[in-house]
Structure 1
Amino acid sequence: MSDNTKFRIALITGGSRGIGRDTVLRLAKRGVRSIFTYHANRAEADKVSALAAEAGAPAIALQLDTGKAASFDDFILRVRAALTEMGAARFDYLVNNAGTSSGASFTNGTEADLDAQFAVHFKGVFLLSQKLLPLINDGGRIVNISSGLARFAYPGRAVYGPMKAAVEALTRYMALELGPRRIAVNVVAPGAIETDFSGGVVRDNPEVNKAIAGYTALGRVGLPEDVGPVIAGLLSDDFGWINAQRIEVAGGIHI
């Protein structure tokens, strides 16, 4: 698949923490090199790069705000430079993981709430993937990240949930149009995960954690290490015939 037969390369947005971090490290254990983005915390990004190298594959961190589409052309230049540093001209896998939370409801959501979530979760995924297409090898794979909140509704998620539903629809269109290049596109929808997302509410609020565990068939909330292996697996040749599918990784929440 890769333009370098010795190794494969993934590009992962939001790879310095949570699910993105675990994905970078899971791929490193499989020998997959990564270019991953971080928003602001360079120190955490450097830690991920060091851990990936220890796990078996180098990982290069690049700063990016996926909500600022005007910065994407410059980012592409930096991706090209990172690929050159790795001894390649193209990469094989794209994971659109970066995201921001919103607690806006339908009754109090504002135009600013809508614009901010749209910029990151739909516009950013759409335009960044589009601009990266010349750098993705034919036969590559793309995984977009949605949320269980695209399937079921929670209070205060009337902006965030529908944006993720839009990503799920976009995934099917991407799979259709990229089929001639043999690029498979799928979407992973995590449930509630113990990370610092949404201010760490699932991780740090015992009442919220317990309530979500009670809604979940397997009796607990999720961890980043529950999701990273699924993303890494979907990128592998073992799942090469899965395309245009939504895979919820949520332990059976709200069955």
Structure 2
Amino acid sequence: MSEQTADQKIVVITGASSGIGRGAAIEIAARGMGVIATYNARPEGAERTVADILENGGTAVALPLDIGRTDTFPDFTDALTGVLKSEWNKGRIHALVNNAGFGGGMGFEEMTEEAFDAYYRVLLRGPYFLTQALLPLIETGGSIVNTSSSAVRPGDTEPGYSGYAAMKAGLVTATRFLAKELSSRSIRVNSIAPGPTRTRLADNAFERFPQVIDGIAAKTAFGRIGEPADVGKVIAFLVSDDSAWITGQDIQAAGGYAL
């Protein structure tokens, strides 16, 4: 075990096989922190994230996790505990980034209970109870970051996103309350609200329909859509000690979208 590994802070990032999760993993590793990158359907993506981190001198491991199945969280916690010991000789993590999720709109009249429940399981219940499951492993003075969405803010109200936005709004509210509840351990809890970002969400919509990009980009102050690294850098800041005086906030990282 190297001296760097002994002193490293370790961060769990859910949904790190692509998009914002991958961008956050790479940026966090670039700050010298160890990364545990979780994946569900795309193990090859998570392994690529890990490989990129290792090639640049960082430390990282990939673990499977289905954020929509809370019954699997005890086994994931056991696997995480084992990896912490075997890879870093540690018993605690510094931070948890609840990023895993899915997008895609569905009109209110077409919404089904099954689709609504899927939004709930993955976007709200999963992050909430994963945080509860991993809380004993988060060190005092650590950090929790929840990925919300600019869709919860006035000005970004697109038809077809009522179910998605309702869950993200619930996550933002839970973030604020958890910041209060966990303050006795000096654990910071914040959320980050990305705007339109080039990810694989909505079945890789930006790649399949590039013609929509210019219209969306025109709604941002900077005239472009976001890249995973844009949001990843803000997440890396929020899990680092540089953000030690920030908690209970929903921080928009959207390039001035829908101002």
TM-score, normalised with respect to structure 2: 0.94
Q: Contact between 2:37 and 2:50, CA under 8 Å: does it hold in 1? A: no
Please name the residue that 2:201 is paired with: 197
Please name the residue that 1:206 is paired with: 210
Separation in 2 of the partners of 1:238 and 1:84?
27
* Cα displacement string for residues 35-84 of structure 1 (whole angstroms, at most 9, x for unaligned residues): 12001222221111111112222111111110011111111000101111
SS of equivalent to 2:111: coil
Aligned pairs (5 A) from 1:6-45: 6-45=7-46
Q: Contact between 2:179 and 2:188, CA under 8 Å: does it hold in 1? A: yes
Q: Contact between 1:28 and 1:53, CA under 8 Å: does it hold in 2? A: no
Alignment partner of 1:216 out of 193, 199, 220: 220
Alignment partner of 1:142 out of 129, 141, 144: 144
Separation in 2 of the partners of 1:29 and 1:253?
27
Aligned pairs (5 A) from 1:68-107: 68-85=69-86, 86-107=88-109
Question: What amino acid sits opposite 2:63 in the alignment?
Answer: L
Q: Contact between 1:11 and 1:34, CA under 8 Å: does it hold in 2? A: yes
Question: What amino acid sits opposite 2:132 in the alignment?
Answer: Q
Q: CA deviation at 1:203?
A: 3.9
Question: What amino acid sits opposite 1:70 in the alignment?
Answer: D
Aligned pairs (5 A) from 1:236-247: 236-247=240-251
Q: Contact between 1:102 and 1:159, CA under 8 Å: does it hold in 2? A: no
Question: What amino acid sits opposite 2:7 in the alignment?
Answer: K
Greater RCO (CA < 8 Å, at least 6 residues apart): 2
Q: Contact between 1:25 and 1:55, CA under 8 Å: does it hold in 2? A: no
Question: What amino acid sits opposite 2:123 in the alignment?
Answer: H
SS of equivalent to 2:129: helix
Separation in 1 of the partners of 2:228 and 2:185?
31
SS of equivalent to 2:62: strand
Please give the root-mean-square deviation of Cα atoms over the aligned residues, in Å: 1.2
Q: Contact between 2:17 and 2:44, CA under 8 Å: does it hold in 1? A: no
Separation in 2 of the partners of 1:109 and 1:235?
36
Please name the residue that 1:228 is paired with: 232
SS of equivalent to 2:130: helix
Separation in 1 of the partners of 2:99 and 2:180?
21
Question: What amino acid sits opposite 2:135 in the alignment?
Answer: L
SS of equivalent to 1:247: strand
SS of equivalent to 1:98: coil
Q: Contact between 1:192 and 1:202, CA under 8 Å: does it hold in 2? A: no
Separation in 2 of the partners of 1:110 and 1:102?
14
Question: What amino acid sits opposite 2:62 in the alignment?
Answer: A
Question: What amino acid sits opposite 2:73 in the alignment?
Answer: F
Please name the residue that 1:126 is paired with: 128
SS of equivalent to 2:222: coil
Please name the residue that 2:65 is paired with: 64
Q: CA deviation at 1:199?
A: 1.4
Residue correspondences, number: 252
Q: CA deviation at 1:28?
A: 1.2
Please name the residue that 1:249 is paired with: 253
SS of equivalent to 2:134: helix
Q: Contact between 2:104 and 2:201, CA under 8 Å: does it hold in 1? A: no
TM-score, normalised with respect to structure 1: 0.96
Q: 4+ runs of 1 displaced by more than 2 Å? A: none
Please name the residue that 2:47 is paired with: 46
Question: What amino acid sits opposite 2:78 in the alignment?
Answer: L
Please name the residue that 2:157 is paired with: 153
Please name the residue that 2:115 is paired with: 113
Q: CA deviation at 1:227?
A: 0.4
Query: Kindly, what percent of the aligned residue pairs are identical?
Result: 42
